[in-house]
Structure formats: C-alpha cells, structure tokens
Chain A
Amino acid sequence: MTGTDALTLALGAVAVGAGALVVTTRHLVRAGLYLVVSLGAVAGLFLVLTAELVAWVQLLIYVGAVVVLLLFAVMLTRAPIGASDDLDRPGWPAALIGGGAGLGLAALLVDAYRWSTVELPEPGTAERLGAEVFGSWVLPFEVLSVLLLSALVGAVVVSVRIPGRRR
C-alpha cells in the first residue's frame, strides 16, 4: 500500500465517519459541524485525486457557503442547542433502503475494480478545467447560470413576507 492509498483510506474513513455522525447525532448544531468535517475530508480526497479546482471550489462553496446557510437555518428555526430526542423517525425503512443503496453500490464498485491500481493523472488545474468547461460544456454552464438566477429569484419570492396577510 503506497502513501497515496493510505492517505485516501484515511480521508475516506474520516469522510464516512463524519457523515455517519451527521445522520445519527442528536445535536443539531453538531450535525452541521460534522458535515463540515465530512465535506472537508472529501475536499482532501479531491486533492489527492488531483482535482485541484474542484477541491478548492468544494471548500469554498460547500463548506463556506452551504454549511453556513444550513447553520443559519438551524438558528433561525430555533433549534435546540442541546440534545433533542425527537429528531428521528422510525429507523427500519431508512436502514433498509440506505443500507441497500450504499452497500449495493459498494459491492458493485468493488466487483468492478477489485484491488487494481491506476496511475494518477495530470492535475486538474483551473486552466485545464476552464478549457474543458468552456470548450466542451458551454451549454450546461449557461443553463446552470440560469438555474442559479432562478434559484435566487425563487428563494427571494418564497421568503417574502407580505405584512398583514398570511402566506
């Protein structure tokens, strides 16, 4: 096992462990923080896999914006600070489906790849990635811009409060 393998293994374990804690903890705020850890580990994995831009974008947007948004939402909805007991629904369908999906996918991938090795490619720098995106995937890029715009507008519209009238 090379160093790369050990590193991916460690980061993967951290990501999965933190993810498990996100979905099982009884503290709302801690869930958010565990999510940060998990997303950070995934960003680390991206780095190891030579996807540099993606890693930094992940940190910037996911950890920086999305998690902050989630934590803001937790605060705005008066979530209890300490442990709360009624956070969970019955567990057996979740376990069944979640376990089935995760383990099934894992089995599929293990069966496909086994213990093979692969050479790490050239790093995915901003220059290369930009050439790729603006070269081959311009249309999705533009559509995504429109999506972002409509999401922005939609979020504003949904949140607007008309004083005196129940929405």
Chain B
Amino acid sequence: MRPVIPYVAAALLFGLGVYGVLRRRNAVLVLMAVELMLNAVNLLLVTANAAPLATVSGPPAAAPAAPDAPAVDTAAAPPLTGQAFSLFVIVIAAAEVGVGLAIVLQLYRLRATIAVDDVPLDTHTPDTGPRAVVAAAPAAPARDGSASREPGPGERARGAER
C-alpha cells in the first residue's frame, strides 16, 4: 500500500474544507465544510497509524502501556494511537455539529436568515425577532414562531446590513 495516496487525498480534502468554510454563505454549508476538514484529519490520523513516518526509516514506536492493562497480543502488533484519536475526533465532531446547529437554528429564529454575512458584530441592528416578524407577515402561520418567507424579512435584514 502506498500511503501517499490517502495522505494526498486527506490533504486535498482539508483544502476543500477550508475553501468551503470561507466561500459558503449559508451557515449549514459552512458546517458541512467543517465536517470535511474533520474528516480529512481523521483520514490523516488513520493513515499515519498505518504508515507512520518512522516506517520509512525504521520500526514504529510503541504506545505507552498502562501498568495494569491486560496483556493483549500487542507485543507484535503496532499501537493503534491514530485510530483511537480518530474516534475521539469523531466524537468531538458530533458534539460540535449538535451545538452548532442549535445555534444556527436559534439564529434563524431571530434573524430569519442564516447567511453568515448578515451577522455583523460592529453595529447593532434591531432583531427582527418573532414578534416583529410575525407582525410583518401576518398571513404566514408561525411554524417556529419566526419568519414567514425567507426572502422577505431576510432580504430586509440583509439589505439593512452590508
């Protein structure tokens, strides 16, 4: 197996993820790009576990063994540090997506838009808010109690900021 292939794939995935974070306007798409980045890192970790740099020049180093760990037949098998860490990364990614999406949804409720451009930090724009948005579009049944049509108030909010 030639490790350079998954390595390069991981690197390109990472680059694509960065590109997506900076290019995409929709917050959910940004989170998708972040997932790409995390996957790239996972791939790197796993590949490194299989083909660490030391194998190019020598035998792999052993992982630190716990004092009272049951003796598994790892004496001849290389350690699985990379894979363990990729598990951890997956866990973190899951937590991050959960919280991130909760925030995105709350933002949507407040501003009726989830374009990352429209969240300026240097000026204060009055939130459209549930009441204001409801008052602005009385015909729409409030599903989340927030905006009616996305283009309408979103456009207004977006138009106010730029």
Q: Which residues of A contact B (CB under 8 A)?
A: 1-2, 4-5, 8-9, 11-13, 15-16, 19-20, 22-23, 28, 31-32, 35, 38-39, 42, 45-46, 48-51, 53-54, 57-58, 61-62, 65-66, 69-70, 72-74, 76-80, 86-89, 91, 93-95, 97-103, 105-106, 108-110, 112-122, 124, 127-129, 131-133, 135-138, 140-141, 144, 147-148, 151-152, 154-156, 158-159, 161, 166-167
Contact = CB atoms under 8 A, between A and B. Distances in A.
A131 B127 CA distance: 52
Interface in B3-54: 3-26, 28-29, 31-33, 35-36, 39, 42-43, 46-47, 49-51, 53
Interface SS, A side: helix
Contacts of B51: 113, 118
Contacts of A117: 1-2
A141 B91 CA distance: 10
A166 B126 CA distance: 11
B65 interface: yes
Contact of A66 (B4, B42, B93): B93
A35 B32 contact: yes
Given A51-B86, A54-B87, A136-B64, A73 B74 contact: no
Contacts of A148: 91, 94-95
A51 B49 contact: yes
Given A113-B7, A151-B96, A152-B98, A79 B74 contact: no
A25 to B, nearest CB: 9
B98 A155 contact: yes
The 7 A-B residue pairs whose C-beta atoms are closest, nearest first, are A102-B15, A98-B19, A12-B9, A23-B20, A94-B22, A151-B95, A106-B11
B1 A5 contact: yes
20 contacts: A8-B9, A13-B9, A28-B29, A32-B32, A51-B83, A62-B90, A69-B101, A70-B31, A72-B101, A91-B23, A98-B23, A102-B16, A102-B19, A106-B11, A113-B2, A113-B3, A114-B4, A118-B3, A122-B78, A129-B83
Contact of A9 (B5, B21, B35): B5
B93 A89 contact: no
Given A54-B83, A97-B22, A158-B102, A49 B50 contact: yes
B25 A132 contact: no
A101 B80 contact: no
A1 B72 CA distance: 34
Contacts, number: 325
B35 A109 contact: no
Given A74-B28, A89-B22, A109 B84 contact: no
A131 B131 CA distance: 55
Contacts of A80: 150
Interface string B84-111: 1111101111111111011111101110
A120 B83 contact: no
Nearest to A16: B12
Given A54-B86, A113-B51, 6 more contacts: A5-B5, A49-B47, A102-B16, A106-B11, A151-B96, A167-B106
